Amino acid sequence: MIRVGLKFCGGCDPAYDRDEYWSEIKDLAEGKIEWVRLDAGGYGRVLMINACETACVAEELSFGPEVRILISTTGQIPAQEVVAQLVGPM
């Protein structure tokens, strides 16, 4: 299992169904990824899910070079690819 930090934006004005998107990712990642909140630490990868192109969290958060960050702004990265990138080699 790979430990992955997960962060959502506030979802004030969603351009797509984030619940549906997240549910798809979670199902595909079953048994491969352990999802944790960002304040839990101990992860080398982060998934940020934004609800629109403003991508508030992408601008607000920063990590060191040891953390790989994957940002999906409008659900444009298919769930399968999200999982593949997160479990793939650094």
Binding site for another protein (CB under 8 A): 13-17, 53-55, 58-59
Beta carbon nearer to another protein, 19 or 27: 19
What CA–CA distances, in Å, run from 20 to 3, 15, 17, 87? 22, 12, 5, 21
| Residue owning tokens 């430990």 | 3
Beta carbon nearer to another protein, 36 or 69: 69
Q: Taking the complex as a whole, how short is the minimal distance between the CB of residue 74 and another protein, in angstroms? A: 10
Burial of 68 (0-12, 13-18, 19+ CB in 10 A): middle
Q: Taking the complex as a whole, how short is the minimal distance between the CB of residue 28 and another protein, in angstroms? A: 21
CA-nearest of 9, 6, 7, 23 to 52 is: 9
Q: Taking the complex as a whole, how short is the minimal distance between the CB of residue 22 and another protein, in angstroms? A: 15
Beta carbon nearer to another protein, 11 or 44: 11
